[in-house]
Amino acid sequence: AAFERLTIQDCKDYIYEVTIVRTYDGFLLEKSIINDGLAKKFPEIEFEESDPGLDHAGDIDYLGKVGDKAFGIQIKPVTANANFGNYKITERMSSSFQDFEKKYGGKVFIIFSTRTGDKKVIINKEIVEEIKAEIDRLKCT
């Protein structure tokens, strides 16, 4: 019944919202998590956007450089952490994360984030300590 009431304008609005507004908002959210969050917590680390091939193929949004090694950051909206039956988004990315670790030496961390008013918030706050431990590990290797 819902599909019978669906209009062309509904489809256009949905496509605009998903492909333009959410993509742009997601991009700003990612930049804010890095620039206003992680870069301030770890000022000695150079964060850089991954190249498009690494982002699309390897699910890596940013690299955190530690000497000649790097760790990866994947930023997802908190809604991406929802459980759809037995499927978890992290399982789909595990193979590309392993490839990243072999190439760069560091682990990949998934940050789940949301917006609270104008503020961007890391939901899984324990990840910051895990990133700190990885930075320390990479400095020693």
Digitized pLDDT (tens) for each residue of the chain, 141 residues in all: 667 788 888 777 666 555 554 554 555 567 778 877 899 999 999 999 888 766 555 588 899 999 999 999 988 877 665 554 544 555 667 778 888 999 999 999 999 888 777 677 888 999 999 999 999 999 998
Query: Residues for the chain: how many in total?
Result: 141
pTM: 0.73
Give the residue carrying structure tokens 């669906």: 6
Question: Letter for the amino acid at 56?
Answer: H
Q: How far apart are CA 38 and CA 64, in angstroms?
A: 10
Q: Beta partners for 8?
A: none
- Tell me the HSE value of 52 on the side-chain side, using a 13 A CA sphere: 0
